[in-house]
Amino acid sequence: MIVTPVDEIISARGELTREQLIPLLQDIQEHEGFVSPAAMVAVANALQTPVSRVFGVATFYNQFRFAPLGEHVIEVCRGTACHVKQSLTLAQHLQRRLKLRPDGNAADGRYTVVTVACLGACSIAPVIKLDGEFYGHLTVEKLNALLDEVESGAAAAA
């Protein structure tokens, strides 16, 4: 029998109870970056619970992702300070420019865009984080310039 990384994550928890469903899913996402259908089946088997229950719980909480992250991760702040400074316009622009699927991933795997409640940098709203770096006082024009830099490979050096 082939032991997968997900199997190892599950067995690392030792004695299992059904109350460990969410912590198990969190462990898997932390190690794998997302929760795959195969992982949900493995969790269901380990907890001796229906796959539909695992799927139902996983999809109920928006903390779980079901596809790998893109090459670049953009967090768009949708907190109050950013909202009043037009962060929705930025999010909608990213949606169009990057041709995002409903799960926030670009079809080419280059980008993942997620919205967050507050990035803790309200004084420079509207704010995004791109690959862990903060970019504030953004406009669509500045965002386009930033994405152009990413595409040319220059953003990492900025």
Residues that bind ligand FES (CB under 6 A): 77, 79-82, 118-122, 125, 127
Instruction: Give the nearest distance from C-beta 90 to ligand FES in angstroms.
Output: 11
Q: How far is the CB of 64 from ligand FES (least distance, A)?
A: 23
CB closest to ligand FES, residue no = 79
Are 115 and 91 contacting, i.e. CB atoms less than 8 angstroms apart?
A: yes
Nearer to ligand FES, 117 or 154 (CB): 117
Of 41 and 116, which has the nearer Cβ to ligand FES? 116
Taking the C-alpha atoms of residue 23 and residue 110, their distance in angstroms, rounded to an integer, is: 29
Nearer to ligand FES, 28 or 119 (CB): 119
Q: What Rg value do the Cα atoms of the chain yield, rounded?
A: 18
Query: Cα separation of 93 and 98, whole Å?
Result: 8
Q: What is residue 36's DSSP assignment? A: -
